[in-house]
Chain A
Amino acid sequence: MLVSIQGLTAALPPGADRPLAIEDLSLDIAHNEIVCIVGESGSGKSMTAHAVMGLLPRGVGVTGGRILFDGVDLLQEPPEAMRKRRGREIAMIFQDPMAALNPVVVIGRQVTEQIRAHRAISEREALQQAVDLLGQVGLKDPAALLGAYPHQLSGGQRQRVMIAMALSLSPRLLIADEPTTALDVTTQAQILKLIKKIQAQRQMSVLFITHDFGVVADMADRVAVMRLGQVVENGTVAQILDRPAHPYTLALIAAVPKGASAPLDPAEGTPLLEVRGLSKTFRRGGLFSSRGAVTAVDDVSLTLNRGETLGIVGESGSGKSTLARCVIRLLEPDSGAVLLDGTDVAKMKSGRLRPLRRRIQMVFQDPYSSLNPRQRIGDIITAGPRAYGEDTAAALARATEILRLVGLNPEILDRFPHEFSGGQRQRIGLARALMLQPDVLIADEPVSALDVTVQAQVLKLLDEVRRTMNLAMLFITHDMRVAAEVCHRVMVMRNGKVVESGPTHALFSAPASGYTKSLLAAIPGRGRL
């Protein structure tokens, strides 16, 4: 065993939602092995990784157990000895490479600094090593990259730089804390492949933290499932995926969207919403200068019928959110038409648009910023009707109904948003949209900030609501699996243009474009779950 965690217990500061961050956790990592810790937010998986690094946040203290690294208890090591081990023997990569890299220092310097902190070599030798490392992690033209600043690189390139830095001292254990969560799916696939390749080449051990069972299926030799600070199940990847024993593991695996149950309702008649040749270009710069323009949406057309869900799928920067914001007129489209029941709202003046706004409503991505923190739930969800002159009492009466519809207790009306979990907040956001009895509901990544079990519940709710209220739904997502689960038809976007579109089942089973094929191929854990 390289690492043997035995009965590790760590206490959270008083006033936290539970007393222990990690409770009696035991876990072994053998030489040349990838161990995945999988769990939902707050399960203690990141805390465990940080405990191994000796970098627990202030206020969290280890109260029991041992972390044996090659036979030495890391918890008994003096701070200076632990500092020397970090980077040299145990290295770590993080979720957000932009935050982990210093934005004002060039890449070359950040890599050499790391090397020279541990080894007495000259700047020139360190630079040579840096070039080698950057080449090893698959970065093209590493010599040129040395002078680049982090913001000049793409997300995938930044994560490769982070990996190169982590590898610079040939550590024996690499801890990867959700290293691909912030990346697009095709980039994620490349990074996962890279980590696997390097692990095999260098015979390292890897502790891989993730929330995604797809990633687990692709990466892990062994898996530990964590919940509320405890390991509920621990075994080889085959055991956990094929014969999960604990009901929580079963629930987690069941909640992973499989993309198999695409709804097949008939959708006919004249379209309720039609978008024709919509374009939107962002110009940067102020009044007197223009520093280039980005065409975010380029001549996009679509139709949407009542009772139908159209998925718009694409990676970041594909223009899917800009398209949605142009349709709902949060952004002004440059050209094209948005026909709602035959009326063009794309260029309508705000005064005439106002009465029509209620017919298109939106559910937002971030459950934490989409509700005004200073207003009570009752004020938030009746704001729409009140804006149209409905009196407060009537609106509140309807609010109770709608809250029940979205699965919330109507007694929450006088509480504040911070008292609710992410999933509950998304339900409140949905209730706010439904209060106006819209015809079209735009859901902009409504589940991407949620844990997988909550995600499954919210997706189910959205589908139910679409049925009961006969809504036309525009569903924006980056996740092909989610799209496959809720959409009748799917439209794939890239760089502002429509790549292809069609009925979900046909498009997934026989994609016409190479891009769609690569998106589908990049889904983690494909065919394994």
Chain B
Amino acid sequence: MMRSVRLFFAKPATIVAFAVFVAIVVIALAAPLLFARGPFTIVGMPLLPPGAPGLLAGSDVLGRDMAVGLAYGARISLLVGIASSIGAVGIGILFGAVAGYYGGLVDELLMRVTEFFQIIPSFVLLMVLVAFLQPSLGATVIGIALVSWPQVARVVRGEFLSLKAREFVQAARTLGMRDSRIILTQILPNALPPILVVGSMMVGSAILTESALSFLGLGDPNLLSWGSMIGGSRSAMWVAWWTTVLPGLAIMATVLSLNFISDRLNDALNPRRQR
């Protein structure tokens, strides 16, 4: 454990990425305390540049404080990213574990279902799903989870296939342990490192997907997210760069830091990468 932590922080880039991510999380958590009036309140003239009195990041097309919007947007982005990833990992583990452990006909069936989800353009499927469920935060989370679990299922299945052949799993079977216990206590803990890596990578891509949905106006209309900020300001892109560039930078910083973190997790949790 300590070894993994030390390996994780062995590169300066990881420390920076981790610091950026923690800062974003803190801002997101503290947004209601810092800006109690909420992101939709109009505070002044529209399209004031960053640095205008009282407006750290300027104002948007409707004269709302961009800084407040960015802080509240972080809440939505992170919430959607993390919640949908947890959902996707959950479904993925269920499918992958059952398919990998039982093999045979069960495996064939579950993998055909998985492939069904993989061969449909996922963003189109997602738009249909969200439109069908009515745009809302819940619909976004469910939709993203439903289109991204196959990736996890594949990884989990592969791990289970190789781990179930190991002698300690066979030993557990000869001891008379139930299948569910073998899956949960013997195999899953050994399969966790790659699942964690895929999961953390998925948070980043879920944030991107959510932004794209909101940009197209399929996000929750009652909540402000980075994607909807860009979507709402795109008409002013040429006259007020900050209205689109700042939320764009926020998305980039979050996803990039998450990718750095998951890359590094991969190295730190992989016992074969020991040096």
> A355 to chain B: which residues have CB within 8 Å?
176
- Give A423-448 as 1s and 0s: 1 = Cβ < 8 Å from B's Cβ atoms: 00000010011001000000000000
Partner of A374, one of B172, B178, B189: B189
Residue among B171, B172, B185, B190 with most chain A CB within 10 A: B171
Chain A's nearest CB lies how many Å from the CB of B110?
A: 13
Partner of A366, one of B167, B177, B181: B167
> A53 to chain B: which residues have CB within 8 Å?
none
Partner of B167, one of A358, A365, A383, A433: A365
Bound-complex Cα distance A371 to B181 (A) = 16
Bound-complex Cα distance A323 to B176 (A) = 19
Bound-complex Cα distance A362 to B171 (A) = 7
- Give A453-476 as 1s and 0s: 1 = Cβ < 8 Å from B's Cβ atoms: 000000000000000000000000
Name the residue on B nearest A370 (C-beta).
B167
The 6 listed contacts between A and B (C-beta, < 8 Å) are: A328-B174, A358-B175, A362-B174, A372-B172, A387-B181, A433-B174
Bound-complex Cα distance A330 to B189 (A) = 22
Inter-chain contact B176/A364, CB cutoff 8 Å: no
Partner of A358, one of B166, B170, B176: B176
Name the residue on B nearest A438 (C-beta).
B174
Bound-complex Cα distance A373 to B191 (A) = 12
Q: How many residues of A contact B (CB 8 A)?
A: 30
Do A354 and B176 form a contact, CB below 8 Å, given A369-B166, A372-B168?
A: yes
Name the residue on B nearest A325 (C-beta).
B170
Bound-complex Cα distance A68 to B38 (A) = 82
> B181 to chain A: which residues have CB within 8 Å?
387
**Is B122 in contact with chain A by the CB < 8 A criterion?**
no
B51-109 residues with Cβ-Cβ distance < 8 A to A are 105, 108
Bound-complex Cα distance A380 to B166 (A) = 15
Inter-chain contact B176/A357, CB cutoff 8 Å: yes
Partner of B186, one of A328, A362, A372, A432: A372
> A365 to chain B: which residues have CB within 8 Å?
167
> A330 to chain B: which residues have CB within 8 Å?
170, 173-174
Inter-chain contact A429/B171, CB cutoff 8 Å: yes
Inter-chain contact B189/A432, CB cutoff 8 Å: no
Bound-complex Cα distance A355 to B176 (A) = 7
> A375 to chain B: which residues have CB within 8 Å?
185, 189
Do A364 and B170 form a contact, CB below 8 Å, given A387-B175, A432-B175?
A: yes
> A364 to chain B: which residues have CB within 8 Å?
167, 170-171
Bound-complex Cα distance A366 to B186 (A) = 17
> A370 to chain B: which residues have CB within 8 Å?
166-168, 171
Chain A's nearest CB lies how many Å from the CB of B158?
A: 17
- Give A400-444 as 1s and 0s: 1 = Cβ < 8 Å from B's Cβ atoms: 000000000000000000000000000001001100100000000
**Is A14 in contact with chain B by the CB < 8 A criterion?**
no
Chain B's nearest CB lies how many Å from the CB of A382?
A: 10
Chain A's nearest CB lies how many Å from the CB of B114?
A: 16
Inter-chain contact A384/B176, CB cutoff 8 Å: yes
> B190 to chain A: which residues have CB within 8 Å?
372-374
B135-173 residues with Cβ-Cβ distance < 8 A to A are 166-168, 170-173
Q: How many residues of B contact A (CB 8 A)?
A: 19
- Give B214-237 as 1s and 0s: 1 = Cβ < 8 Å from A's Cβ atoms: 000000000000000000000000
Inter-chain contact A432/B171, CB cutoff 8 Å: yes
Do A286 and B167 form a contact, CB below 8 Å, given A330-B174, A357-B176?
A: no
Bound-complex Cα distance A371 to B171 (A) = 8
Name the residue on B nearest A367 (C-beta).
B167
Chain A interface residues (CB < 8 Å from chain B): 286-287, 328, 330, 354-355, 357-358, 360-362, 364-366, 369-375, 380, 383-384, 387-388, 429, 432-433, 436
> A366 to chain B: which residues have CB within 8 Å?
167
B177-196 residues with Cβ-Cβ distance < 8 A to A are 177-178, 181, 185-186, 189-190
> A362 to chain B: which residues have CB within 8 Å?
170-171, 174
Residue among A364, A369, A372 with most chain B CB within 10 A: A372
State the majority secondary structure of interface residues on B. Answer: helix
> A373 to chain B: which residues have CB within 8 Å?
190
Inter-chain contact A287/B105, CB cutoff 8 Å: yes
Inter-chain contact A369/B167, CB cutoff 8 Å: yes
**Contacts A433-B174, A436-B175 known; 15 new A-B pairs at CB < 8 A:** A287-B105, A355-B176, A357-B175, A358-B175, A360-B174, A361-B174, A370-B166, A372-B172, A373-B190, A383-B175, A383-B177, A384-B175, A387-B176, A387-B181, A432-B175
Inter-chain contact A357/B186, CB cutoff 8 Å: no
Name the residue on B nearest A368 (C-beta).
B167
> B171 to chain A: which residues have CB within 8 Å?
362, 364, 370, 429, 432
Do A369 and B168 form a contact, CB below 8 Å, given A287-B108, A374-B190?
A: yes
> B176 to chain A: which residues have CB within 8 Å?
354-355, 357-358, 384, 387-388, 436
Per CB-CB distance, the 4 closest pairs between chain A and chain B, nearest first, are A357-B176, A370-B167, A384-B175, A364-B167
Chain A's nearest CB lies how many Å from the CB of B185?
A: 8
Name the residue on B nearest A380 (C-beta).
B168
Bound-complex Cα distance A364 to B176 (A) = 16
Partner of B174, one of A287, A357, A369, A380: A357
Chain B's nearest CB lies how many Å from the CB of A370?
A: 4
Bound-complex Cα distance A374 to B4 (A) = 14
Chain A's nearest CB lies how many Å from the CB of B198?
A: 19
Inter-chain contact A371/B168, CB cutoff 8 Å: yes
Chain B's nearest CB lies how many Å from the CB of A416?
A: 11
Bound-complex Cα distance A436 to B177 (A) = 12
> A384 to chain B: which residues have CB within 8 Å?
175-177
Inter-chain contact B174/A383, CB cutoff 8 Å: no
Chain A's nearest CB lies how many Å from the CB of B165?
A: 9
> A429 to chain B: which residues have CB within 8 Å?
171
- Give B109-149 as 1s and 0s: 1 = Cβ < 8 Å from A's Cβ atoms: 00000000000000000000000000000000000000000
> A371 to chain B: which residues have CB within 8 Å?
168
Name the residue on B nearest A360 (C-beta).
B174
Bound-complex Cα distance A468 to B258 (A) = 59
> A374 to chain B: which residues have CB within 8 Å?
189-190
> B172 to chain A: which residues have CB within 8 Å?
372, 383
Bound-complex Cα distance A365 to B181 (A) = 24
Inter-chain contact A387/B177, CB cutoff 8 Å: yes
> B175 to chain A: which residues have CB within 8 Å?
357-358, 361, 383-384, 387, 432, 436
Bound-complex Cα distance A384 to B189 (A) = 18
Name the residue on B nearest A435 (C-beta).
B175
> B168 to chain A: which residues have CB within 8 Å?
369-372, 380
Residue among B174, B181, B189 with most chain A CB within 10 A: B174
Name the residue on A nearest B179 (C-beta).
A350
